[in-house]
Amino acid sequence: MLFSTRIIAPLLMACTMPFITASKVLTQTTPSSTKLPSTGLRTTDQVLNQVCNFLKAQKSFTVEMDITYDNVLDSGEKVQYAAYQKVWVAKPNQLRSDYRGDQRNNSFYYDGKSLTWQNTDLDFYATKPAASTIDQVISNVELKYGLTIPMSNLFVDDPCGKVTSDIQKSVFVGSNLVDRIPAHHILFIGEDRDWQNTLQNRPGERTERQGNRQTTRQDRQQGRTDRTDIRQRERTERTDIRQREQTDRQRNRQDFIDDNYRGRWYGGGWYGGGYRVPPAWGWAGFATGLVIGAAITTPPPYYSTVYVGSTTYIYSDGIFLETSGSSYIVVRPPIGAVVTYLPEGCSMIQINNLNYYDCSDIYYQPLYRNGSVVYKVVDF
């Protein structure tokens, strides 16, 4: 657990849980010493004092701890347990501790006025009035209720007071890797128990990690910016495509009028074969001669192909045609047909709180597909 630029946990765990004894540690290491090599500090006591002074100076901090500890059963066997704890501290009167472990799971919340204890194993919580400082709360909760906040010696104004008073001897064991970070391994020997701390004094590594986190945040932000730019380009491209298609349809209409003016185009109507089509090929044409079942020999000047089931239709400005040999037969708009634009003159209506378009008693439902609005022929 990396607590700060100078501390790697397990840190000051002696107040709550024992570690392995001195004899077992020393059999795995070089001869012990109280001096640390190349640290600028001469003794383990100086290192501990530096850690304690650092903790005292912190007014607010967050700590995440991966904890392992040993327990000796009544039968004599030793069992190792594990836990994870996260703590938020803002001195003198704000504290939260979440502890999840093999033997217990609980949380403490202190806001300067009350203390709440939550036991997730029992699905139970209790709230009591509390003293005005973290130090008083930690002391009172143990005396009055028999509860111990794990690692609570880290949170008080003098985090090392209880620890240092119990130390009889300290031994520099050697350099260990904790989370792949080189650190000083120190054994503290007390009257009732022995414990180990792993401490590091390498601010450059914290700076490097902060730089890596900043780079990661910048990369994520750049990724979000890139995705936003891509979405905006795609929306712009879709808008441009729809605009071009509309312009092409208008141009085709005008070309059709110009091409057919002599002999067949009169006063906004196209005469030929006994039917009349308005310039927009809209359903209004049905009232002036273009009826369902009418046959024409040439397709409209602009159209799109629509598929409904296994049947293929030609769609142009609200008119659907089905091929029959060399002719094109006007048909009623098939239910379920999906088109990309509506004929002119449609009006929006609401049925059962849903929007529809009424195009001369032919109803279309707007839908969103592949980033664009389309219109589906529906029946009521």
The candidate with the shortest Cα–Cα distance to 99, out of 81, 80, 78, 79, is 81
The span from the first CA to the last CA of the chain, in angstroms, equals 67
Give per-residue pLDDT as tens, 319-362.
899 999 888 888 989 999 999 999 888 999 999 999 999 988 89
Contact 7, 172 (CB under 8 A): no
Instruction: Give the separation between CA 350 and CA 91, rounded to whole angstroms.
Output: 60
The distance between the two most distant Cα atoms of the chain, rounded to a whole number of Å, is 117
Supply the pLDDT for residue 270.
Answer: 35
Cis peptide before 10 (omega within 30 of 0): yes
Q: Is the pLDDT of residue 198 over 80?
A: no
HEC string of 249-304 equals HHHHHHHHHHHHHHHHEECCEEEECCEEECCCCCHHHHHHCCCCCCEECCCCCCCE
Residues ≥6 apart with Cβ < 8 Å to 153: 12, 15, 16, 159, 160, 162, 163
319 membership: H or E segment, kind and range: strand 319-324
Please list the residues that pair with 2 across neighbouring strands.
8
Supply the pLDDT for residue 309.
Answer: 92
Contact 356, 367 (CB under 8 A): no
In order of their start, the domains of the chain are 7-201 (2.50.20), 227-378 (no CATH)
Give per-residue pLDDT as tens, 46-88.
878 887 888 888 889 888 888 888 888 888 899 999 999 999 9
How does residue 206 score in pLDDT terms, banded at 50, 70 and 90? low
Residues ≥6 apart with Cβ < 8 Å to 355: 348, 349, 365, 366
Q: Is the pLDDT of residue 284 over 90?
A: no
What are the φ and ψ backbone dihedral angles of 106, each rounded to 5 degrees?
-155, 170
Least confident of 19-28, 122-131, 245-254, 265-274: 19-28
Please list the residues that pair with 357 across neighbouring strands.
348, 364
Q: How many CB atoms lie within 10 A of CB 55?
A: 23
Q: Is the pLDDT of residue 286 over 60?
A: no
Q: Is the pLDDT of residue 91 over 70?
A: yes
Least confident of 69-78, 88-97, 276-285: 276-285
The candidate with the shortest Cα–Cα distance to 33, out of 195, 198, 169, 177, is 169
Summary mean pLDDT of the chain: 76
The candidate with the shortest Cα–Cα distance to 30, out of 168, 167, 171, 169, is 171
How does residue 190 score in pLDDT terms, banded at 50, 70 and 90? confident
Name residue, tokens 């093999």. Answer: 102
Contact 160, 52 (CB under 8 A): yes
DSSP string, 9-31: SS-SGGGT-----HHHHHTTSSP
Supply the pLDDT for residue 55.
Answer: 81
Q: Is the pLDDT of residue 29 over 90?
A: no
